[in-house]
Amino acid sequence: MAKEDIEFVDGLLVKAPHANAPSFVKASISIRVEDLGKWLRAKYKAGNEWVNIDVKESKGGKWYAALSTYKPKAKEEAKPKPASKFDDMTDDVPFSPIRKLDAMLR
């Protein structure tokens, strides 16, 4: 596996919830407005309308926020649908019931 370059989110600190936090609290986030604002403006100037951030845990157990680099695969073009529901079936079978059925329906 290739080593991933991690881009940390400036001004965004993520911590595990404290021991007495209720079960519905999943993380504690602190924001330094000036630093996060600069980081976001730089992303916007670079042409990013959206920024996705992953909350991760380091090998040492500390939580952190990193820019998500996930890119979905390009969608394959859809195959055109056959004119008849039997047109896409192979008809090289000598005694195919499909041939008889297709002939009866036409």
Domain map of the chain by residue range?
12-67
Q: State residue 92's pLDDT score.
A: 57
pLDDT band at 65 (very low <50, low <70, confident <90, very high): very high
Q: Which residue type, as a one-letter code, is found at position 31? A: I
pLDDT beyond 80 at 91: no
pLDDT beyond 60 at 81: yes
- Residue 73, token pair as written in the block: 């695969």
Q: State residue 1's pLDDT score.
A: 39
Q: Which residue type, as a one-letter code, is found at position 85? A: K
What does the pLDDT average to over 59-84? 83
- CA dist 86 and 106 (Å) reads 11
Percent of the chain clearing pLDDT 90 (strictly above): 59
User: pTM score, two decimals?
Assistant: 0.61
pLDDT beyond 90 at 79: no
- CA dist 106 and 101 (Å) reads 9
Percent of the chain clearing pLDDT 70 (strictly above): 73
